[in-house]
Structure 1
Amino acid sequence: ITVNYMMAKESVKKRLSPDEKEGMSFTEFTYQLVQGYDFLYLFQNFNCTLQMGGSDQWGNITTGTELIRRIGGGKGYALTCPLITKADGTKFGKTEGGNIWLDAHRTSPYKFYQYWLNTSDEDAEKYIKIFTFLSKNEIEDLIIEQSQAPHLRILQKRLAQEISILVHSKEVYENAVIASSILFGKSTSSDLKSLDESTFLDVFDGVPKAEISKSEIDNGLDMIGALAAKTGFLGSNGEARRELKQNAISVNKEKIKEDYLIKETDLINNKYVLLQRGKKNYFILVVKS
């Protein structure tokens, strides 16, 4: 690949124009060689003949097709689509931060579902056309419903449903809905206990925690100890008593009285107990064996 060939790329010419203030780094200039070689390697070793990407990758991909022609003696193909951007104009991709992955180990199904659920109205209208297989008529009907009742977030919910089922499964999607209702809707102790450990920790990411030993719940841990003396969730034993008398305390989403004892049957995933004061103040007991 000659320098002349590389300089002829539209993406390079734009960056080297007199109007471009920042110019182009050597790394950026030679990146097309790295991506081109990657395509050549996949062609030679895995019979890969097609590379897909955003329209901004056209020059890099076609460098690969040229290497395949010159070195591999074959044909490679490029397929690009319009660059996907967010409402604020930034690219939809890992280099922009706040990225999501298809791999459940990198982005949990719960966070994946929440990502689509929390998109803006403008982005949801765009993404549902790109990332789902809904028909044109279905999408137009959803957009009309959204415009009539934007607070219901109909587009976001359907987008999150369609893409979560497509990438993960219907069962995983339903679990994500249950997990979401635990924070933002009505839920029960049994709902909490139905969550796997990873989803439970995702739902309550950032919630303060305290460790206690399993021996402390063998005979039942009293609520004053659970709320204050053993954990520091509340500032003092007196505050704990006041909150209990005002019926403001829940264990695993169930309201309890002052005489309640936390036992092994309260454990979520054999390890956690969720304490709650009021609607939004959460605390997790981590029970160590």
Structure 2
Amino acid sequence: MNAYEVLKERGFIEQLTHEEEIKALFEKGGVTFYIGIDPTADSLHVGHFLTVMAMAHMQRCGNRPICLMGGGTGMIGDPSGKADMRKMMTVETIDHNVACIKKQLSRFINFDEGEGGAIIANNADWLRNLNYIEFLREIGTHFSVNRMLAADCFKTRMDRELGLSFLEFNYMIMQGYDFYELNKRYNCMLEMGGNDQWSNIIAGVELIRRKAQKPAYGMTFKLLTNSEGVKMGKTVSGAVWLDPEKTSPYEFYQYWRNIGDKDVEKCLALLTFLPMDEVRRLGALEGAEINHAKEVLAFELTKIVHGEAEATKAQDAARALFGKGAATVDAPSTEISAAEFAEGMDILTLLTTIKVVPSRSEGRRAVQQGGVKLAEQPIKDIDFKVTADLFTDGKLLVQKGKKTFHNVILK
């Protein structure tokens, strides 16, 4: 199978700029492609991991990845999918984050020199020292403001009171220019990214076709969402990071062990290297047997990210916990309307509503003393907001102390 067939079968592909031409390109093989990563933090998170896996599949099929670090675009921030302007970062912070992400990527992508070895590039090399007038004359003339404003990433922001800053408005042009530069430097013909990048990717494809009069293509992937359409990769303690210092291998394992039943097959296909016959077999399991599929998913994913030894330790610890905590399955439960969590219910209100504590003051003490957990994650902030995306299959386990368990069920 070529890379297109692999990505299609596993469920990655969402949109293509020139489907038939892209299919023909992959049949020949040896495609140089790129995926951009803006260094907004010093670690990749689960949302990035889907595109990293796509990159790995592409490389395994004989294509050459370029991992583009956004040392230049990171100084502006991508408005795609964001309701508000991103926080501005210093050059020092951006460069530190780039170095950390480069190190992480080397665990998943082969950067060995030679044919097929991946390339690490940084758009700071061509963006930070641009001559503004020259850039406007050479590149800006190929962009239509009317078409840019029609892009979803801009329309959403224009509808809000905050609007869109001119700084962010430049982001699409800069990302399009990235593709143009990579095409010139490495004969890169394909840009890939999450579906929220569609408008930015089209900008680069059209720039190359107009200015260089060369073929260029774009492909987007489905965003990693659960069966309710909510983005995956968030726990009560925050994002699920690939850095073990931010999210421990055990916490990482537990996140995948506890996902919803309907999401297991999709995650096995997108986030592991298991053959699709095995993915389909595991995804078809029902009832209590689906827990075996979840264990396989959690182990395989933890093994890829943290290594087999850490995956084994996490699995052993989880099994021991589930063995001791079987009583939590029979814990009392309270149904609460999902609307109550739309804006977030504060933790003290939740504890008193389900009568785990008799008063807010006792709830405050329990939280401050580290005695409250949601989905096995400790809550230490008395102002913590419980939102619907923290529930799995409409259920959230609340624990106070070592012996008090209570299931909150959405209705």
Q: Give TM-score scaled by structure 1 length.
A: 0.49
Name which structure has the greater RCO, CA cutoff 8 Å, separation 6+: 2
Superposition TM-score, scaled by structure 2 size: 0.36
